[in-house]
Amino acid sequence: MTHLFSPLRIRNIELRNRIAMSPMCQYSAKDGFAGDWHLVHYGTRASGGAGLIIVEATAVWPEGRITPGDLGLWSDDQIPGLQRITGFIQSQGSVAGIQLAHAGRKASCALPWDGGKQLSLSNGGWENVAPSAIPFSPGERTPGMADSICIERIISGFREAAERALMAGFRVAEIHSAHGYLLQEFLSPLSNKRTDEYGGSFENRIRLLLEVTEAIRTVWPEDYPLFVRISSTEWTDGGWTPEESVRLAPLLHQAGADLIDCSSGGNIHNAKVPVRPGYQVPFAEMIRNTGIMTAAVGMITEALQAEEIIASGRADLVLFGRELLRNPYFPLQAARELGADTSWPIQYLRAR
């Protein structure tokens, strides 16, 4: 058996292989509700052979959406639409995961195909909150600084969304603390200028993420994995660093996280990111050396590339993003390329 197609057990959940679908926003929800697009989109990737399907960033508040088209889990009414999706994913032998998120100062934007710019309050936009009153880019509205009541509401919002995710049938939850969204904004000394217990020192800046992790663990079953996506570096002088990510990892592990999903960037509008194949894999390797599982993500597009990452012990899981948008059946093709034995949907066996 190849390394990429070996099973991975995290707590009491076993993934049939080390291929996962990275959470990628579809911007196709209405008032936070999942629809037919989501069912077909995620269901196709499950039948395509991925071991884990992580559903896109799902807002814990209406105001936490990046765009009006984001999925949400702030209401029990949103559970049934997601249950359709998890049921189909699991019928295909995949595990259903979900990323829980709050967009912070990067919320209230138009859909990407409508330009993606921040929406004005007179054109369907809403007020944003952030650790400090610093907009993401010049010309955007200054976000409100989250006070103690807002912070408590943030924590409870993540916890309650996790409870709903469990009712919707998800077996893996991921906390979104990357790409310049709210929880990463607290981590970064460039977006967090607070002078209270949530700002200043490393210990203070990581406090909210640890509290959210601990809160979710109070409602997320002991048998089920909890992931955290971080931006391992901001690629900007004075910002969050890989060394801080290494310091953070064991603390997240102690708080109840099982795996760190190692991405980067997104919080500084003019950061220069050296994008190239596998450019974020070194972060997954560094953080894995602290004793926690990691996932590698970003410009990973080939079976042999992913096989090497797992075989060399650089990460435990490989998340595929754009490659799975281009090719929902990439895992089946990768298995053929690597000579691995993997199950196919019975309806497609004639093509094997």
C-alpha 276/C-alpha 175 separation (Å) is: 26
Q: Which residues are catalytic?
A: 181
Please tell me what DSSP assigns to residue 133: S
Q: Is the dihedral of CA 292, 17, 332, 92 positive or negative?
A: negative
Look at residues 163, 160, 105 and name the one whose alpha carbon lies nearest to residue 134: 105
Q: Write out the H or E segment, with its range, that includes residue 45.
A: helix 36-47
Please tell me what DSSP assigns to residue 109: B
Within 10 A of 279 (CB to CB), how many other CB atoms are there? 14
C-alpha 310/C-alpha 296 separation (Å) is: 9
Amino acid at 300: I
38: left (phi over 0), alpha (psi -120 to 50) or beta: alpha
Please tell me what DSSP assigns to residue 140: S
